[in-house]
Amino acid sequence: MVSRARHEAVLIVAVAVALVCTAAVTVIALSEARGAATAGGWTISSSGRYRPQARIVDIAAVGGSDVWAVGAESVSEEPLSYGVPVLTHWDGARWTRVAPQTLPLPYGELNGISMVSGSEVWATGRLGPTAGEQRGPYVLRHDGMSWGAVPVTGLPQVGHLLPAAVRGRTWMAVAGSPVVATYTGKGWRAESLGEHVRISSITARSEDDAWVVGDRLGRAYAAHWDGGVWEALPPPTGRGVILSDVHAASATEVWAVGGEFGVNRPVLLHWDGRAWERLAVPLEHGDLSAVTAASGGRVWVAGTDRERPDRPLILRSAGRRWTKSYGPVPSGTDHVSVNALTRADGTERVWLAGSTGGGKARWGRDLILRTADPGR
């Protein structure tokens, strides 16, 4: 089981709205639409399910019928404002949303999710403002039956938390900072990876095998946890490269993606256990924002193509050969944001989370794609 989380480069904002609370309603179940759009081997699993200006920020799976996704609805581009959290579960047949009024944070956003098993799921977010004051991060844990709040003692009160949980250990990286914290059972023990480090993603395979990526002083940054210390292993990419996501399929198959800013070139890196290598991809200009993989060189990468901003770009590799395709979107879409990819161990089902927009709406609709069933 591999756990990972990443942070979007865009500013995450939302507007506070009124909730209509009905005590008897705790979940909202919605099946996939019949005849859902399919393209490039992908199907729309969920889109436009929530109020306008909604988006899915992260997604995690431990099986074909056990998937959690998080995000927010009623998103606005007004600074320092918050909306309503989205927390939804796929059981193999339908998406079931946990009603916001049953959560400890009825206003705010959820921006990270990590699964150890069906009975251990971690979610992170930020509380909305109360009495005009902006409030800090929040951590939730699911025990297979219900969601409960986890103390945030020891965690910085600024920045978005990126969770990575495996059996026996849970990390929280603070996006845009050098801080990584470990859960002690009562609170969090934080440490810094060094001055000027800005973490954007964390992934873990076991309690003694984890990675973070991001940037440091305008250069790509990566560090590995071996069970005792974090060791910096920065890729030799030169200046102007920021890494957005990382995934470890094995000790010798670690993948990182990002972009070369200023020239809008995609960056794909592979760690073979000894060194990083930058790989060529069939994309001249665009951003790579999410990656997942299985052992044996099967890799999925997603992002946006500057020439096709209205469709999610998906690259797939079996070995060293890469194929390019574009996922389906709702009608009226003219731009997309790809936020996360995940694959459950033991399956070939891959999930993509993001949002779509049209016209002046930056984030118009929530979007979840999955790889299509055979024969579709």
Pairing mode of beta strands 308-318, 298-305? antiparallel
Q: Give the strand pairing for 335-343 and 350-357.
A: antiparallel
Whether 23 shows a pLDDT value over 60: the answer reads no
Q: What is the pLDDT of residue 104?
A: 77
Higher pLDDT, residue 91 or 345: 91
pLDDT classification of 36: cutoffs 50, 70, 90: low
CA distance 124 to 60: 13
Q: What per-residue confidence (pLDDT) applies to 24?
A: 31
Please tell me the distance from the alpha carbon of residue 106 to that of residue 123, in angstroms, as a whole number: 14
Per-residue pLDDT at 17: 30
What is the rounded CA–CA span in Å between residue 188 and residue 191? 10
pLDDT of residue 364: 74
When the pLDDT of each residue in the chain is averaged and rounded to a whole number, the result is 86
The label of the residue with tokens 């990126």 reads 162
pLDDT of amino acid 63:
87
Lowest mean pLDDT among 125-134, 271-280, 340-349: 125-134
Of 163-177, 318-332, 358-372, the one with minimum mean pLDDT is 358-372
Interatomic CA distance for residues 11 and 173, integer angstroms: 17
- Better pLDDT: 71 or 76: 71
**Shortest CA distance to 204 belongs to which of 302, 115, 329?**
115
Q: Which of 344, 314, 366, 368 is nearest to 32 (CA)?
A: 368
Q: What is the model's pLDDT at position 32?
A: 64
pTM: 0.89
Query: pLDDT tier at 295 (50, 70, 90 boundaries)?
Result: confident
Q: Where are the beta strands (DSSP E) in 7-93?
A: 27-31, 38-39, 42-47, 55-63, 66-73, 84-90
CB 304 within 8 A of CB 336: yes
What's the pLDDT at 21? 32
* Alpha-carbon span 47 to 331, nearest angstrom: 11
Distances from the Cα of 233 to the Cα of 95, 204, 212, 214, 361, angstroms? 40, 16, 10, 12, 40
Looking at per-residue confidence, does 361 or 105 come out higher?
105
Q: Where are the alpha helices (DSSP H) in the chain?
A: none
The residues, any chain, with a CB within 8 Å of residue 27's CB and separated by 6 or more, are: 96, 97, 98, 99
Q: Of 223, 239, 118, 93, which is closest to residue 171 (Cα–Cα)?
A: 223
Give the pLDDT band (50/70/90) at residue 16: very low
